[in-house]
Copies of this chain bind each other. A is one copy, B any other.
């Protein structure tokens, strides 16, 4: 039997400010939630993979150890750190754990507790490590100013306008209203984005996604588990995975109007799934800045290079269109607890697959995609899920 890997359970906490909860408590809530959702005994989970950026810079590195103790489990745990893409990175290692035959059932947990750092003022320093710390961060560049460079390059080369850029978060906030787990469930008008004070021109103060707290968890199972449990409630096959790297720094790259790691990771995932971008009808992409979503939808191949801004402005990525981008609200409205984000993106596609996305449900579709990015594109992960019928 060819080994396939299936998502068989999922859970997310609400994203936002959880001042009263430790990172491990958020992780525990998500992990137990996903076990509960999978309708399995917790002892069935043979290993857990944790994705987080900050826990390594924090006092208690070992969120995974604390989490499994709180769950009264004693299973092997592995922590993956891939900057802002730590969640998707952990997902890929969990996938590899099943595919290799080492495990039949594993959990993956993405978690971050960022409120504490925002107060402490250390968040920018932590994020500085996801870019070139010595040649970018220490020289005064931040993620915002580097994304401003990416934005300007796109505006210059493709005449992308501020209105087109703002159309990204306008749409995502509209979507977020319909997501009960999103941090921000309110719309922000185009006018408000355009009139906002610039924090790193052309990026305005409402443009970036917020750092927040949250955890998401997914249960992955082997073909064997699926075969033995015909009545299993959730069985979403993972049909494509891609993972590519680029330089940390912008100044080492050949282009500023494309993220090469996204292109490579998407191509890899499409090749593995044996489909192309046209087969995808719903996607969660890394919109930590408006240009992030525009680069994503171009580099993945949903729209030709240079047309992402116009497509967004024209509503071609809104719910109901051929390709719905970030129906969950994206990082922008859902909130961005780094390690949790990559898992939350996949959870959203699973909910859409299962018809459990409530008011933000995408109509009939076969394939969904997620894209999770670290830094300004130093690492990108792409995941493709399929309906069971087509993904076999």
Contact = CB atoms under 8 A, between A and B. Distances in A.
Interface in A76-107: 76-83, 89, 92-93, 96-97, 99-102
A248 B66 contact: yes
Contacts of A243: 47, 76, 78
Contacts of A79: 80-82
Given A93-B93, A96-B102, A99-B100, A61 B83 contact: yes
Contacts of A244: 74, 76
Interface of A: 47, 53, 56-62, 65-66, 68-69, 74-83, 89, 92-93, 96-97, 99-102, 125-126, 128-130, 132-134, 137-138, 243-248, 252, 374-375, 378-379
A59 B96 contact: no
Name the residue in A60, A97, A244 with the highest tally of chain B Cβ atoms < 10 Å from its Cβ: A60
B74 A246 contact: yes
State the oligomeric state as a number of copies.
Answer: 2
Contacts of A58: 129
A75 B134 CA distance: 22
Contact of A56 (B61, B74, B89, B133): B61
A62 B378 contact: yes
Where chain A touches its partner, the secondary structure class is mixed
30 contacts: A47-B243, A56-B129, A58-B129, A59-B125, A59-B133, A60-B134, A61-B81, A61-B83, A61-B126, A61-B133, A62-B129, A62-B130, A65-B247, A65-B248, A66-B132, A69-B252, A74-B244, A74-B245, A75-B245, A78-B80, A78-B82, A78-B92, A78-B93, A79-B80, A79-B81, A96-B100, A96-B102, A97-B100, A99-B102, A100-B101
Nearest to A94: B96
Nearest to A134: B60
